[in-house]
Amino acid sequence: MRKKVAAILILLSLLFTYELNTHYFLKKIYPRKYYNYVFYYAKEYGMDPYLIFAVIKVESNFRSDAISSKNARGLMQILPETGEWIAKEIGIKNYSNSMLFEPKYNIQMGTWYLTYLLKTFNGNIKLALAAYNGGSGNVDAWLKDKRFSKDGKQLHIVPFPETNKYIKKVLAVYEIYKFIYETKN
């Protein structure tokens, strides 16, 4: 009988401890690595830092040395040609593609670019994420195509399955970040 009571007490204490530390465990899975850079550039460009964390988590899982099969690089997975364009737009001197592996520059450039896409698509996060993943030219074309957009303002169907999955994943991770870090623990 003592063993059963002890087992039940241990189980209850583990459940209680787990409940108290849910945020602790979630913070391990959804960290805020590069916190200073993310918050600095989010503030500079008027962006929600938790959306930036979500993009980084989904794009590279916080690996600054990540390279995709399409040659996108760094934390926010920026293509070299996009990096060159962004560097010119924001005035980064002596830009080289190796800078895409440096967290400071990658976060600065990725945050600026996501802000640019949000402005381009009138604050529509889904369209901005679709453009970030699938290209803004594609999003523009989809919005003009009645098969994908009934009103020219929203995508009712995202024709690239990878982009559709990407949008859903980033938005889900974004909600998790807000839940973990915006609630009082």
Q: How far apart are CA 100 and CA 36, in angstroms?
A: 17
Of 90, 99, 169, give the one whose Cα is nearest residue 132.
169
Establish whether 81 is a catalytic residue. no
Q: Of 59, 81, 89, 182, which residue is the catalytic one?
A: 59
User: CA nearest 72: which of 5, 162, 141, 164?
Assistant: 162
Give a three-class secondary structure readout of 89-118.
Answer: HHCCCCCCHHHHHCHHHHHHHHHHHHHHHH
Active-site residues, by number, are 59
